[in-house]
Structure 1
Amino acid sequence: MLNYSLFSSSIHFLKVMGYRVSKRLTTRDYRQPGQYFVTICTYQRAHFFGRIREGEMALSPAGQVAWDYWHEIPQHHAMVRLGTFVVMPNHIHGLLEILDSNTARWGPKMRPMAEPDTVQFLSQISPKVGDLSLIIRGYKGAVTRTVREKGYDFAWQKSFHDHVLREGEAERIRNYIVNNPKNWEEDGFYTPDVGWDKEK
């Protein structure tokens, strides 16, 4: 369940974008084919992932892990196709499509992207193909483990935001994601840069 005290401005952003803000839909089967706009925040929106410099995102080592592992998801979930994605200082935004069985194409054989234990974080849930919650749980777990191994006291905020794309929304959301770094200080997830990483 979302911590609404920490996500107050995030909720305002989602309302401005026209999203219905609520708990996850109990009537929604998150294994159904469809496009999802996913947002995951760091704990207390700490700037683990990098800094915005002249309107462009400069990734920290932790941010690079978040970037790389997101793009590994289809290697572990053949029913998933990725769309526009961005890593921001304290959150990620991504478009993710769960395909139906007639559309999905099996991708290349899974290759190790890190230590075997890290691969397991993503692959352990692969038999339950297409469940959005399990996909995101595996992604968050793999990122957390690897970033901590690099010496960061890293954590994600509990849960995540998801929005089921309706007809006609895709282009607007893609533009929002692409332009997120340029519009960082006006973003609903913005917090001042107070030092995004503390290595051991």
Structure 2
Amino acid sequence: MNDATGHKPLPKTSIATSGCHLPGAFNPPPVHIDSPAVQVMTDLAQVPVASINASATLDDANRSMIARGVRLLLVVDDSRQQVAGLLTSVDVLGEKPVLAAQRHQVKRHELHVADVMVSVEKMDALNIEDVKKARVGHIVASLKADGRAHAIVVGLDADGKQALMGIFSASQIARQLGVQIHTHEMARTFAEIEAVIAGV
């Protein structure tokens, strides 16, 4: 029987009695420190990035992070075509909002993403060509050197324009290395990653 569009419904299939498992994107494979770096990168051609508009409130951003189970949001412009910056859970929950509220003489709940985000002009990125040749250890070293929990990866798209290709997250790397993650205590997480590297 056809519906109004003239298309037939798809046939149904049963769920295996042994259970239906989640694909690799939900359960990334374990890695070691010399594994290719791309194995711990969130490839934005495969996984859509969680984003938010710069004009959204910080409370909106916090709710969005909780709902999506992420600690980083890509901040986009009104057209949703250009990267305006990055917002991490530390930007939302740390001292930045307190300082921004004092600077703008407003209450915290009146602050917007644009008030505390890391703007695109201040963002450093890794080049996808370097990442393709790198190992997990290089990414850990890069994150630690910058004192950041995330790094973005850029490259050229088919039109030769710079585009966002991927994101590295210290917490995802730690998960894939089998290291305990300490929320908002990245120094401790890095220390444990280094212990794994050293074979301690």
Structure-1-length-normalised TM-score: 0.23
Give 1 or 2: higher helix fraction: 2
Higher relative contact order (CA 8 A, sep 6+): 1
Which protein is bigger by CA-based radius of gyration? 2
Structure-2-length-normalised TM-score: 0.23
